[in-house]
Structure 1
Amino acid sequence: MKEKVYQLLPDFLQNFMVYIYNRQAYKRRYGGEYKNFRKEKKENRTLSLEELKEYQKNRYSEFIKFVIQNSEYYKNSIGNIEHVESIDNISSLPIVNKEVLRNNIGSITVKTSEQLEKSKTGGTTGKSLEVKFFFRDSQERFAFLDDFRSRFGYELGKKTAWFSGKNLLTFRDVNKNVFWKTDFVHHVRYYSTFHIKDDYLKYYVEDLIRFAPEYLVGFPSTILEIAKYGIANGYDFPENKVKAVFPTAETITDETRYYIEKFFKTKLYNQYASSEGAPFIIECEKGNLHLELQTGVFEVLDENNQPAQSGRLVVTSFNTAATPLVRYDIGDSITLEDADKKCTCGNNNPLVKEILGRIDDFIYSVENGKINLGNVSNTLKDTKGIIRFQAVQNKLDELELYVVVDQEIYSKQIEKVFLSNWRDRVGDVMKIQINYVNEIPVEGSGKFRIVKNNIKDLL
């Protein structure tokens, strides 16, 4: 009903409704214990590695005790494990994947009379999942996220361009080439991530130049398309306007970072978390990624569930008391930096060499094995005129590429280079089919997936 009323309102009232929604959300988000959490996060910035590990050890013990007492699932599955509250015994606990979480969500979520906040994970795999949070846990997560962004000058109220999965536009907006709504009180403009196509990108670029945001937040795939369009069409974004770009929800490739930083003439600072409540990995001013031990436990495991330098990420998150994440296989993979490497930024948390992204964001070659997202992105090397592409694998021996091109630049020679780049990665056996299309739609969440692997269950 609310959505139908919103669709009928004039533009200025729709903007007002966006402000009302934000005001209510910010009241919950920045109320309660938020200020105390912000103070604590700032004080913890310079803890030594030993102090961080001690903090992590204590939080883990408190979290596990709470989970066993309040979650039926974990009471039955880990309640009888000896010394279960000790972080040294974490490997004795079972690993929980997304299917286990989804199938047991009722018994995993704690029983409480408190009102809980709901959060739905994306649906890029075709299955969504709803988890719940205590408001104090959400407040602590936002306090940590805001503390991270504040290191680059951001606070609520700074002029911000936001690119997320909110679908706020009407047919009237699209017909007028208006692809945004604005909360004028909090100085946030929300740009649609559902209308990223060549016919509309000029309106995004020109409005961003007029709006002149200090910060950009949201899906990097959308920001990337805007940046590439701006560069290709000779737009000159003003110097010293954007202070930082904070991407969310998607893996950052070298190409993404290069074009966004080039067009907006600023730095991109990456951070990793998840809708389910994964602990944080953040990028510092020196460009290094840090595992934030005060937010949870990070395990990097190989196929035999043994500790590894590079592998799949299994997390235990301290801010997920309502729907606990205990040894949760989140579906992503990372590579750790050498343990003896230190950062000079003042953050003493361990370093991450690379966030490799979703485990199913890969193409599988019978000849060469898995080709990860970074290598898929690099198939654009030495090409021009490819605006966007998506790789879809439905069979072990077949790959479909959906490609949007600039007809004035793209040529048969560039196609050969593009195919050669793919052959270097997948070998000579796999059949590659190129489908030239006018546009490639985003997912229902507003995200764009460069890789769609539909055969991972066969591997």
Structure 2
Amino acid sequence: MKILQRLYCIFPNFIQNIFITWFNIMAYKKRYGGKYKYYKKMFFNNRNLSKEELLKIQKNRYVAFLKLTVLKSEYYKKNLLKIEDFNKIETIEKLPFLSKEILRSNVDKINTITKNKGIISKTGGTTGKSLEVLFTHDNMQERFAMLDDFRDRQGYKLGERTAWFSGKSILTSRDLKKCRYWKTDYFYRVRYYSTFHIHHHNLIYYIKDLIKFRPKFFVGFPSTMFDIAKYGINNGLQFPNGMLKAIFPTAETINKEMREVIESYFHCKMYNQYASSEGAPFIFECKYGILHLELQSGVFEVLDEYNNPSQSGRLVVTSFTSEGTPLIRYDIGDSITLEDESKSCQCGNNNPLVKEILGRIDDFIYSPEVGKINLGNVSNTLKDTKGILKFQAIQNSLSKLILKIVIDKKIYNKKIEKNFIQNWRDRIGNSMELEVQYVDDISVEQSGKFRLVKNNIKHLLNV
């Protein structure tokens, strides 16, 4: 692999694009071969099943998944067989939780297959520690079939021109000198735009190339799309109306401001979806902007701080497509709010409704004076401000908060600074020290994701 990487860096741009194309063809054989077409047809046929029918499928899949896991996983054989009726969905609360740390420490015993028989998936490690899990080939094909069925509902077809914003490290020093921040898959017609170089000095090149490339779909990190859209709006750069058919964000939580800015600038609706690189079950947004749990993909438990079922709280998942590294009552670290059970959606999807995906539980600031300030309240500190291109809140101690800010010097002024700081004071109180650092840029994580909050003191808290 290192030899291939060295050769890739030596090749001219055209050959590098061929290399990207070849790599995708090899990867897509695994994703779209085998039972992919069978699963795709199944999910298409199941689109309008009643809630009762969906619950029956969920129950049957749960029983089969638990039986298979206990048969093949050393960890679960030891921990589940001693529990009476361990494979009945009605008694799921009897099963132990699987935390990220337990998964990381016991993954070899949890795995049901070896690496040479599975497909390796690595988490980004945005919390500081990466994780490696295994998918069976069937599970990987089923997950892509489910994901493609969701996108197909919004007009997407594999092979249509797509701009992809993800954490692929694919650029060379020659690309940077030429202000070329992308590589292209010629066969599937996907252009991969680097999320590691989203600096306001570079964004003009992204916009110009997007307009030249004329994609029909956007896929990838919404924070990158948001930065591009804000730059376009602030600099009067028009994006062609009618070019895009749909935008599919991945990997990050979307807030109201991000959605409004992205949809208004690119003249296109965004369709949200929730999953994870570890293999969490899916949540999909329909054409009416309503989020639906996908009961065919797993079990979703929403729990309060006392581990009781709740309308809003932390999300614990059991995923039917994680047979390689089984996820049973996996405490994934995110939180959601469910919609009232009496409500339904006119789109025809009868899966339960989700009111809001609240995002990562551990992305918060803690004030000794006020308590937890969640991600939504952090993002809302931009209210009544202009000229702030990007910011990041970093907490390394209980008594101090660091704010890194990238500004547009033509717009930003002392009055805006005062409003921004006051917004923070309204949330954290007056006792914490607040240090503002003006910087030229804020780096993304190794995964290519941007973290709005970096809380480095969670180990000191009992919240």
Under a length normalisation based on structure 1, what TM-score does the superposition of the two structures give? 0.99
Q: For 2:398 and 2:361, how far apart are their aligned partners in 1?
A: 17
Do structure 1's residue 391 and structure 2's residue 386 form an aligned pair? no
| Structure 1 Cα separation of the partners of residues 441 and 100 of structure 2 | 31
**Partner of 1:120 in structure 2?**
122
Q: Which amino acid in structure 1 is aligned with residue 169 of structure 2?
A: N
Q: Distance in 1 between matches of 2:402 and 2:293?
A: 36
Contact 1:356 1:372 in 2 (8 A): no
Q: How does 1:330-369 map to 2 (within 5 A)?
A: 330-369=332-371
* 1:161 matched to 2:163: yes
What secondary structure does 1:323 align onto?
coil
CA distance in 2, matches of 1:313, 1:456: 19
1:198 match: secondary structure: coil
1:177-210 alpha-carbon deviations (Å, 9 max, x no partner): 0000011221100000110101111000111111
Q: Does 1:258 align with 2:252?
A: no
Which amino acid in 2 is paired with 1:397? Answer: S
Partner of 2:138: 136
Alignment-derived partner of residue 44 in structure 2: 42
Q: 1:65-104, aligned counterparts within 5 Å?
A: 65-104=67-106
Q: Superposed, which structure 2 residues align to 1:12-411 within 5 Å? A: 12-111=14-113, 115-411=117-413
CA distance 1:113–1:181, shift in 2 (3 Å)? closer
- State the aligned residue count: 459
Partner of 1:415: 417
Question: What amino acid maps onto 2:438 in structure 1?
Answer: Y
Aligned-pair distance for 1:366?
A: 2.0
CA deviation digits over 1:59-101, x for unaligned, max 9? 0000000000000000000112111111001000000100000
C-alpha separation between the residues in 1 aligned to 2:411 and 2:103?
48
Give the superposition deviation at 1:357.
Answer: 0.7
Q: 1:254 to 1:113 in 2, by over 3 A?
A: closer
Give the equivalent residue in structure 1 for 2:4.
Answer: 2
After TM superposition, give the deviation of residue 397 of structure 1 in Å. 2.2
The farther-off stretch of 363-372 and 49-58 is 363-372
What CA deviation, in whole Å up to 9, does each residue of 1:323-345 have, x standing for no partner?
Answer: 00000000111111111111111
- Work out the CA distance in 2 between the residues paired with 1:289 and 1:278: 16
Label 1:213 to 1:323 Cα distance change in 2 as closer, same or farther (>3 A): same
The separation in 2 between residues aligned to 1:342 and 1:301, in whole angstroms, is: 22
Q: Secondary structure at the match of 1:217?
A: strand
Q: Is the deviation greater in 353-362 or in 423-432?
A: 423-432
CA contact (8 A) 1:254 1:374 kept: no
CA contact (8 A) 1:313 1:333 kept: yes
> Which residue of the partner structure matches residue 449 of structure 2?
447
Partner of 1:13, secondary structure, is: helix
Q: 1: distance between equivalents of 2:174 and 2:316? A: 45
Q: Tell me the secondary structure at the aligned position of residue 47 of structure 2.
A: helix
Partner of 1:428: 430
Measured in 1, the distance between the counterparts of 2:427 and 2:56 equals 44
Determine if contact 1:115/1:134 at 8 Å carries over to the other structure: yes
* Distance across 2 between alignment mates of 1:424 and 1:248: 31
Q: Cα distance, 1:16 vs. partner?
A: 0.2
The 3 A distance-change label for structure 1 pair 69 and 222 is same
Say if 1:51 and 1:114 are closer, same or farther in 2 by CA, change over 3 A. Answer: farther
Whether the aligned pair in 1 keeps the contact of 2:399 and 2:433 (CA below 8 Å) is yes
**Deviation of 1:114 (Å):** 7.0
> How high is the sequence identity, in percent, across the aligned residues?
61
- In the alignment, the residues of structure 1 paired with residue 288 and residue 76 of structure 2 have an alpha-carbon distance, to the nearest angstrom, of 40
Measure the CA separation in 1 of the matches of 2:29 and 2:289: 33
Tell me, in whole angstroms, the C-alpha distance in 2 between the residues paired with 1:304 and 1:430: 30
Q: Which runs of 5+ in 2 are unaligned?
A: none
SS at match of 1:15: helix
Displacement after TM superposition at 1:309 (Å): 1.2
Relative to structure 1, is the Cα distance of residues 91 and 14 closer, same or farther in structure 2, using a 3 angstrom cutoff? same
The alignment partner of 2:258 has SS state of helix
SS in 2 for 1:229: helix
Mapped partners of 2:115, 2:219: distance in 1: 35
- Distance in 2 (CA, whole Å) between partners of 1:102 and 1:175 is 40
Whole-Å separation in 1 of the counterparts to 2:103 and 2:122: 13
Structure 1: runs of 5+ lacking an equivalent: none
